[in-house]
Amino acid sequence: MKPELKYIELKSGFGDTGPAWIGMAEFSKSGRTVYFNGKALKNSNAQGIAGNFYDIENGDEYWVSGIKKNGTDRHWAGGGKIMIDRNIVDLYLSLVDFNTLDKNRFELTEIKPTDKQKFAELENKKIN
């Protein structure tokens, strides 16, 4: 699957106010694992308490979704700035209903690449 622009929010320990990012996410061949910002997030099949994906290293729950055209990606009860990858700002602005980023709602950041091979090895490791 080709990379897609996604909204990703940490739910574990935060509810609706966790750290949140907008950036390009990569996917496994099956599409069930999202690679983003150095993490591998596996689809939880709606088994999570607040998230729809979980971090395969530590079990933290995340909410992963497409971006909303009106920019209201956070849950209505949530809050906090959304960190947006500075490399995709122009793409993001071309997809939403506004022309500039509100500095009260967004903060520019660098999204780090994810070593997919590391996670493939982790998931395929033999259990003794």
- Give this prediction's pTM: 0.91
pLDDT digits (tens, 9 = 90+) for 47-56: 767 789 999 9
Q: Which residues contact 88 (CB under 8 A, 6 or more apart)?
A: 5, 22, 23, 24
Percent of the chain residues past pLDDT 90, beyond the cut: 74
CB 6 within 8 A of CB 31: no
The pLDDT of residue 126? 62
- 59-68: average pLDDT: 95
Per the structure block, which two tokens stand in for 120?
A: 């493939």
pLDDT category of residue 128 using cuts at 50, 70 and 90: low
Largest CA distance in the chain: 55
Q: Measure CA of the first residue to CA of the last residue in the chain; give whole Å.
A: 33
